[in-house]
């Protein structure tokens, strides 16, 4: 029998399911530190943990270990790279705590609106402060949901009975899915301007860190409420502190830079604070435990690998093509519009890449949405797209001359009112280097997607490239490389520039305005 070690306070359903299966001997140690538990059971085949740190020392102390399952979504406490070197698969159970976080979000909104936290001790003390605790109702209010992943969608569903107007922002959710949820898609400025409540449901990464800053906070209605049950770094704390009193904003918070006892820096600006209780429900613990056990059985009995987060590149596929798929997807997203709702992904894989179509969709989806882990498999990628109402088509290909070992990604977005926009990018790998060969109707580019790059499309005319260079030079930005072809009609051009450093938004905007540019963006590859 395979020994499964559970050195954590996890719901007993995991042990019950695995024991009933008959193929596992389960040892659950609720009180013993993980290092001691591992030392006592070095023959463990699988390890199921919650927030325990599984570092290289823990992994090396288990020579028979084949699987680590994190009963929860995040896996930053596990050394996934060392696990891969050891041949250990690492899984997680995404979505198991989604309902708990959604309900906490609404609980915070209601508790704050009706002053429940302060009213309880007042009433217990014998006071009768009905006027002081005059509240407000959610009905008739507008709630903006930033991020319509599993949690954001559940928030929308749970609020549907409160007679509120729902706005949502998530470029990776198709408009028809949002409509089914009763959510009106809006851009971020509109959400912060129109909403009485703004609730955040995003991961923290390079794109979202500091997203909620003085610009967005300054757009909020006087007396509006910001709810953060996502990640602390999404909100610029100092900007909120500077604007909170002036705009009479309310701030309800469940997340911090570090989950640990001690003073919290937001204590002076948070109207309600909870100690990261989003996933702290009996049901979430039960769901995570149940899914961890079921995933281990599916992995062993049926070879299901959908939730492995540290997979290897398959044998026979050059790693550079995975990086190419990722880069091409990011580039295509920039061309079609990063903030517009995605409705359709189409891919074409040529030559020796064709057998790896299923594997290559994974870096494509990961490039388009950082909530999808790049180490997952094709089944998880398709399920992720389906959950957001996005259609995926992998087109059948023939061995066309000149297309050998290349790939094409087409993205379609909604412009609203039934209008669509589409962009198409093709690339390959030449001498070990990623190469973009075509962007829409601009062919034979032979552009390497590396470094900081700017893209400007415009109606062709003399002097435009010089105007771009002059504006960048005035800002102290050096141009390292340029591609500037016409399309097949000769009427339109694209300027692709590699630059020495990121271009500030005001400088980039000045270029766009000066050359009357069409779709334009900058990206760091």
Chain-wide mean pLDDT for the chain? 93
Residue 198 Cα distances to 228, 449, 456, angstroms: 9, 36, 33
Listed in sequence order, the residues at least 6 apart from 47 whose beta carbon sits closer than 8 Å to its beta carbon are 4, 5, 6, 7, 38, 54, 62, 65, 67, 68, 69
Q: How far apart are CA 110 and CA 158, in angstroms?
A: 13
Per-residue confidence (pLDDT) for residue 317, from 0 to 100? 85
Measured at the CA of 217, the angle between CA 368 and CA 259, to 5 degrees, comes to 70
With beta carbons less than 8 A apart as the criterion, state whether 524 and 452 touch: yes
Nearest to 305 by CA among 292, 295, 290: 295
With beta carbons less than 8 A apart as the criterion, state whether 15 and 30 touch: no
Give the whole-number percent of the chain exceeding pLDDT 90: 80
Residue pLDDT, tens place only, 510-524: 999 999 999 899 999
State phi, psi for 387 to the nearest 5 degrees: -65, -20
Interval 124-147 mean pLDDT: 96
- 354: tokens are 């064709």
Listed in sequence order, the residues at least 6 apart from 433 whose beta carbon sits closer than 8 Å to its beta carbon are 320, 448
Residue pLDDT, tens place only, 242-301: 999 999 999 999 999 988 899 999 999 999 999 999 988 999 999 999 999 999 999 999
* E strand or H helix that includes residue 258: none
How does residue 7 score in pLDDT terms, banded at 50, 70 and 90?
very high
Asked if domains 2-96+282-302 and 319-524 share a fold, the reply is: no
Per-residue confidence (pLDDT) for residue 77, from 0 to 100? 85
Q: Which one is predicted more confidently, 77 or 326?
A: 326
Residue pLDDT, tens place only, 55-83: 999 999 999 999 999 998 778 789 988 99
With beta carbons less than 8 A apart as the criterion, state whether 264 and 41 touch: no
Residue labelled with tokens 């996934």: 80
Q: How far apart are CA 483 and CA 335, in angstroms?
A: 16
Residue 55 Cα distances to 22, 52, 66, 79, 277, angstroms: 30, 9, 15, 5, 25
Distance from CA of residue 19 to its chain's centroid? 35
Q: How far apart are CA 479 and CA 470, in angstroms?
A: 10
Per-residue confidence (pLDDT) for residue 402, from 0 to 100? 58
Q: Which one is predicted more confidently, 194 or 97?
A: 194
Per-residue confidence (pLDDT) for residue 316, from 0 to 100? 80
Domain 2-96+282-302 is of which CATH architecture?
Answer: 3-Layer(aba) Sandwich (3.40)
Q: How far apart are CA 26 and CA 12, in angstroms?
A: 11
Residue pLDDT, tens place only, 465-478: 999 999 999 999 99
How does residue 480 score in pLDDT terms, banded at 50, 70 and 90?
very high
Stated length of the chain: 525
Return the minimum-mean-pLDDT range out of 134-138, 140-144, 184-188, 430-434.
430-434
Listed in sequence order, the residues at least 6 apart from 258 whose beta carbon sits closer than 8 Å to its beta carbon are none
Tell the burial category of 476 from Cβ atoms under 10 Å away from its Cβ (0-12, 13-18, 19+). Answer: exposed
Interval 118-147 mean pLDDT: 96
- 36: tokens are 């001691």
Query: 28 forms bridges with which residues in the sheet?
Result: 6
With beta carbons less than 8 A apart as the criterion, state whether 351 and 403 touch: yes
Distance from CA of residue 470 to its chain's centroid? 37
Residue pLDDT, tens place only, 307-324: 888 877 777 888 899 999
- Enumerate helices (H) and strands (E) in the chain, giving the number of each: 17, 22
Per-residue confidence (pLDDT) for residue 238, from 0 to 100? 97
**Rg (alpha carbons) of the chain, rounded to whole number:** 26
Beta strands 492-499 and 479-483 are antiparallel
Interval 402-428 mean pLDDT: 90
* E strand or H helix that includes residue 361: helix 357-368
Per-residue confidence (pLDDT) for residue 206, from 0 to 100? 80
Confidence check: pLDDT of 400 > 70: no
Per-residue confidence (pLDDT) for residue 318, from 0 to 100? 86
Residue pLDDT, tens place only, 34-59: 999 999 999 999 999 988 999 999 99
Q: How far apart are CA 488 and CA 511, in angstroms?
A: 25
- Supply the DSSP string of 20-35, one letter for each residue: HHSSEEEEE-SSS-HH
Beta strands 67-70 and 89-92 are parallel
- 122: tokens are 């007042």
- 247: tokens are 């705009």
How does residue 154 score in pLDDT terms, banded at 50, 70 and 90?
very high
Listed in sequence order, the residues at least 6 apart from 162 whose beta carbon sits closer than 8 Å to its beta carbon are 138, 139
Nearest to 98 by CA among 170, 165, 154: 154
The domain 98-273 having CATH identifier 3.40.228.10: the answer here is no
- Supply the DSSP string of 370-419, one letter for each residue: TTS-TTS-HHHHHHHHHHTT-EEEE------TT-TTEEEEEEEEEEETTE
The structure's pTM equals: 0.82
CA atoms within 13 A on the CB side of 450: 8
How does residue 395 score in pLDDT terms, banded at 50, 70 and 90?
very high
Q: DSSP secondary-structure letter at 229?
A: -
Query: How is the chain split into domains, by residue range?
Result: 2-96+282-302, 98-273, 319-524
Give the whole-number percent of the chain exceeding pLDDT 70: 99
Q: How far apart are CA 202 and CA 232, in angstroms?
A: 10
Interval 478-492 mean pLDDT: 90
CATH of domain 319-524: 3.30.70.260
Tell the burial category of 523 from Cβ atoms under 10 Å away from its Cβ (0-12, 13-18, 19+). Answer: middle
Q: How far apart are CA 185 and CA 21, in angstroms?
A: 46
Q: Which one is predicted more confidently, 306 or 393?
A: 393
Residue labelled with tokens 């919650």: 50
How does residue 304 score in pLDDT terms, banded at 50, 70 and 90?
confident
Per-residue confidence (pLDDT) for residue 258, from 0 to 100? 85
With beta carbons less than 8 A apart as the criterion, state whether 417 and 340 touch: no
With beta carbons less than 8 A apart as the criterion, state whether 343 and 390 touch: yes
Q: How far apart are CA 346 and CA 332, in angstroms?
A: 11
């Amino acid at each position: 029998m395979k020994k499964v070690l559970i050195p954590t306070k996890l719901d007993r359903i995991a042990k019950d399911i695995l024991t009933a299966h008959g193929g596992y001997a389960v040892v659950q140690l609720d009180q013993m530190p993980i290092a001691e538990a591992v030392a006592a059971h070095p023959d463990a085949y699988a390890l199921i943990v919650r927030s325990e740190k599984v570092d290289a020392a823990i992994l090396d102390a288990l020579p028979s270990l084949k699987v680590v399952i994190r009963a929860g979504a995040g896996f930053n406490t596990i050394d996934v790279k060392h696990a891969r070197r050891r041949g250990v698969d690492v899984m997680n159970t995404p979505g198991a705590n989604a309902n708990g976080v959604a309900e906490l979000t609404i609980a915070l909104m209601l508790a704050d609106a009706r002053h429940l936290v302060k009213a309880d001790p007042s009433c217990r003390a014998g006071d009768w402060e009905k006027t002081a605790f005059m509240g407000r109702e959610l009905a008739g209010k507008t709630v903006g949901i930033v991020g319509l992943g599993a949690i954001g969608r559940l928030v929308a569903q749970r609020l549907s009975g409160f007679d509120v107007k729902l706005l949502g922002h998530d470029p990776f959710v198709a408009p028809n899915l949002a409509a089914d949820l009763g959510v009106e898609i809006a851009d971020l400025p509109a959400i912060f301007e129109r909403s009485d409540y703004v609730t955040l449901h995003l991961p923290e990464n390079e794109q979202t860190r500091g997203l909620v800053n003085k610009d967005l906070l300054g757009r909020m209605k006087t007396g509006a409420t910001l709810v953060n049950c996502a990640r602390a770094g999404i909100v610029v704390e100092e900007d909120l502190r500077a604007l909170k009193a002036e705009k009479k904003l309310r701030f309800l918070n469940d997340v911090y830079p570090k989950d640990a006892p001690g003073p919290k820096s937001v204590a002076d600006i948070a109207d309600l604070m909870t100690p990261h209780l989003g996933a702290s429900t009996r049901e979430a613990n039960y769901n995570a435990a149940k899914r961890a056990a079921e995933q281990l059985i599916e992995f062993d009995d049926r070879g299901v690998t959908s939730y492995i987060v540290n997979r290897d590149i398959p044998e026979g596929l050059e790693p550079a093509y995975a990086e190419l798929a990722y880069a091409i997807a990011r580039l295509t997203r920039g061309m079609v519009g990063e903030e517009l709702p995605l409705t359709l992904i189409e891919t074409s894989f040529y030559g020796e890449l064709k057998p790896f179509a299923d594997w290559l969709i994974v870096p494509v989806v990961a490039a388009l949405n950082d909530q999808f882990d790049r180490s997952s498999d094709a089944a998880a990628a398709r399920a992720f797209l389906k959950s957001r109402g996005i259609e995926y088509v992998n087109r059948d290909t023939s061995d066309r001359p000149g297309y050998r070992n290349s790939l094409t990604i087409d993205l379609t977005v909604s412009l609203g009112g039934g209008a669509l926009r589409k962009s198409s990018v093709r690339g390959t790998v030449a001498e070990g280097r990623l190469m973009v060969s075509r962007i829409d109707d601009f062919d034979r580019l032979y552009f390497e997607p590396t470094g900081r790059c700017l893209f400007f499309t415009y109606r062709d005319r003399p002097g435009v490239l010089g105007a771009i260079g002059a504006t960048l030079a005035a800002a102290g930005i050096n141009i390292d490389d340029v591609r500037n072809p016409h399309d097949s009609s000769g009427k339109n051009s694209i300027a692709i520039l590699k630059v020495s450093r990121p271009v500030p938004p005001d400088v980039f905007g000045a270029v766009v305005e000066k050359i009357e540019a069409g779709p334009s963006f900058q990206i760091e590859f």
